Amino acid sequence: MIRRDLHQHNRLAWDAVTPAHSSHKRDEAGFFRAGGTTLFDDEVHLLLGTGPEGHVLEDIRASGERPLAGLRLLHAPCNAGQDTLSLARLGADVTGVDISPTAIAAAQTLAEDAGIAARFAVADLYDWLPAQPAGFDVVFMSYGALIWMSDLDALFAAVAGVLKPGGRFVGIEFHPLAQMYDERGVLTYPYGGGAHVVGETGVGDYVAASGPALAPSGFLEGQVGFKNPHATHEFSWGVADILGAQLKAGLVLEVVREYPYANGCRIWPDMVETPGRRYVPAGGGAVPPLMLGWSSRRPA
């Protein structure tokens, strides 16, 4: 069931935390003007149908290629637009959609200051997607998007509806298994089925907790001790939920990948950063999969 009422509660939490996140990022516009990107190799491999190994972003920058040129791409939800603009830098004709007007205002300002062409819209995806024609070559979702979605069947049916025949739905997420653990690394939350989880402390300042890995333009101390006044409502989706909803929507799965590290985000406090802005648990040893990636296609 689509819970638009809870989506609006979450909007308040994102409106509150976005300025705190932005406060830690040094001169993002200058970073983009100089050719910077906030993307990781893993999502670019999925977008290009390559990999999963190799430093594809370094190769692209060295060659000056724009491998997404000619593609209409929807990034949803897009938060404050840094990844959206990075996708535009790869040549995509990109549209970013997010429920938070504060995040979209930040995205629009950054696009103007960086001189990167992109379109942005403030909307609940459950309202925006069904109103669009089948005009996108790619729909892209990433990193903590699905926990805010109250009905995957309805969402992915709408995603399939905006794709052109032959178009692809590409995503990379923190793994549902890893999301069963709280910020202390303690097994706490239910797995899958869309279980409703109330977060009394709201969206936190994970940029401050993650440091330079989430601020490649340069990390600033910024706002200290942020506390979100708005609780959140999250939804627990398992691997079968995520992949099954795509199949139910008529999409054909082409790639499914799992990763033993978390890009950018220190999801547990004892994690250590490794090359490539990747976090892994300290001490080594056995770890659960920390990210899940996929690519599926609307039949031509």
Token pair recorded at residue 262: 């978390």
Write out the chain's pLDDT in tens, 300 residues.
Answer: 999 999 999 999 999 999 999 999 999 999 999 999 999 999 999 999 999 999 999 999 999 999 999 999 999 999 999 999 999 999 999 999 999 999 999 999 999 999 999 999 999 999 999 999 999 999 999 999 999 999 999 999 999 999 999 999 999 999 999 999 887 778 999 999 999 999 999 999 999 999 999 999 999 999 999 999 999 999 999 999 999 999 999 999 999 999 999 999 998 888 999 999 999 988 877 788 999 999 999 999
Both structure tokens of 70: 């000619």
Q: Are the C-beta atoms of residues 76 and 94 closer than 8 Å to each other?
A: no
pLDDT score for 182: 84
The kind and range of the H/E element at 20 are: helix 4-22
Task: Give me the pLDDT at residue 288, please.
Answer: 86
CA 156 – CA 169 distance, rounded (Å)? 9
Which residue, 256, 269, 288, 264, is CA-closest to 211? 264
Domains and CATH numbers, the chain: 25-191+236-297 (3.40.50.150)
Q: Distances in Å between the alpha carbon of 131 and those of 156, 159, 190?
A: 14, 11, 33
- By DSSP bridging, strand 278-281 and strand 271-274 are antiparallel
Q: Is the peptide bond before 77 cis (omega within 30 degrees of 0)?
A: yes
As a whole number of angstroms, the distance between CA 124 and CA 120 comes to 13
pLDDT on residue 262: 96
pTM for this structure? 0.95
The reported pLDDT for the residue numbered 221 is 94
State the number of CA atoms in the 13 A half-sphere of 17 facing the CB. 21
Q: Within the chain, what is the greatest distance between any pair of CA atoms? A: 51
Q: Omega before 260 cis (within 30°)?
A: no
Residue 105 contacts residue 22 (beta carbons within 8 Å): no
